[in-house]
Amino acid sequence: MAETKTEAAVDLLVEQEGAVLTLTLNRPKALNALTHGLMEGLLAALKKAEKDPSVGVVVLTGEGRAFCAGADLEELKDGYQGGVVPELDKDLRRWFNPLVSQIRRMEKPVLCAVNGLAAGAGASLALACDIKLCAPTAKFIAAFAQVGLAPDSGFTQALLRAMGRSLALEHAWTAKPIPATEAERWGLVNKVVPALELGREVSEFAARLAAMPARALALTKRAFNRAGDCDFDSMLEYEAQLQGVLGRTRDHLEGVNAFLEGRAPKFKGE
């Protein structure tokens, strides 16, 4: 039986079972809105997972009926009511941007189980993940314009690349919700599954990835991160470089020999 480790914090639950680390936003009464403390804890957990050889896959989800309602305006209430507006650019650079960048950059798969509402920066957080599985009740909302702001934390790029400029602007300007089924149609998420099966589906997907050759998954993610901003010929050369590295790994040798011998491979991340 896989070993399970559980660490309970006020705002973040951290559980590891085998090679799968699950991070659960745990502020259900506030719809898991992001406080500075929660973001600090989440970023620290992601950085620790990145360096921990016992972690192969990270799963991110939320407790209760929402995934994440975005930034916690209650945390800033006193300042706003006193007429003091925070320096939002510095806030993004200090808290939000490092979080979504860490998810995109870290060379381990990050899965998101979107169990409900994902609004504002909460939607940005979910969409930054590599694989997104949703409950039918999940929906994504660019709620920024409702409070006089523009989308941030990577939301603009995610919408633009999925649905094009006109529809992206419509959703950003009007805060028109994107239901789970529509998000699946646009490729914003991978799959919509019944709510009662979401946990099982995510666990099975995570376990499947955890059994794969870790180095190959890491360099595949690195390649896709680069491919969107790279010309074709340069990408051909970069892919060749990555194959040169992976071709010398023990997992590559094991995979080929397992195929030739008609057996299941046993990858060790080497």
The pLDDT of residue 189? 97
214-227 vs 232-246: helix axis angle to the nearest 10? 170
% of the chain surpassing 90 pLDDT: 76
Choose among 166, 46, 161, 176: nearest CA to 104: 46
Are the beta carbons of 136 and 195 closer than 8 angstroms?
Answer: yes
Hey, where are the domains in the chain? 4-210, 214-261
Q: Is the per-residue pLDDT at 15 higher than 90?
A: yes
The pLDDT of residue 78? 66
Please classify residue 180 by burial: count the beta carbons closer than 10 Å to its beta carbon, then call 0-12 exposed, 13-18 middle and 19+ buried: buried
Q: Residues near 241 by Cβ (< 8 Å), separated by ≥ 6?
A: none
The CATH class given to the 214-261 domain equals mainly alpha
Spatial strand order of the sheet with 191-192 comes to 4-8, 12-17, 20-25, 57-62, 110-114, 131-134, 191-192
Q: Is the per-residue pLDDT at 7 higher than 60?
A: no
d(CA 88, CA 63): 27
Q: Does domain 4-210 have CATH number 3.90.226.10?
A: yes
The pLDDT of residue 86? 76
Among 19-33, 115-129, 173-187, 231-245, which is the least confidently predicted range? 231-245
Mean pLDDT of the chain: 91
pLDDT digits (tens, 9 = 90+) for 125-163: 999 999 999 999 999 999 899 888 899 999 999 999 999
pTM (predicted TM-score):
0.91
% of the chain surpassing 70 pLDDT: 94
pLDDT digits (tens, 9 = 90+) for 223-246: 999 998 889 999 999 889 988 998
Spatial strand order of the sheet with 178-179 comes to 66-68, 117-119, 139-141, 178-179
The total number of residues shown for the chain amounts to: 270
The pLDDT of residue 11? 94
pLDDT digits (tens, 9 = 90+) for 55-111: 999 999 999 999 999 988 887 776 666 777 778 888 899 999 999 999 999 999 999
Q: Is the per-residue pLDDT at 4 higher than 80?
A: no
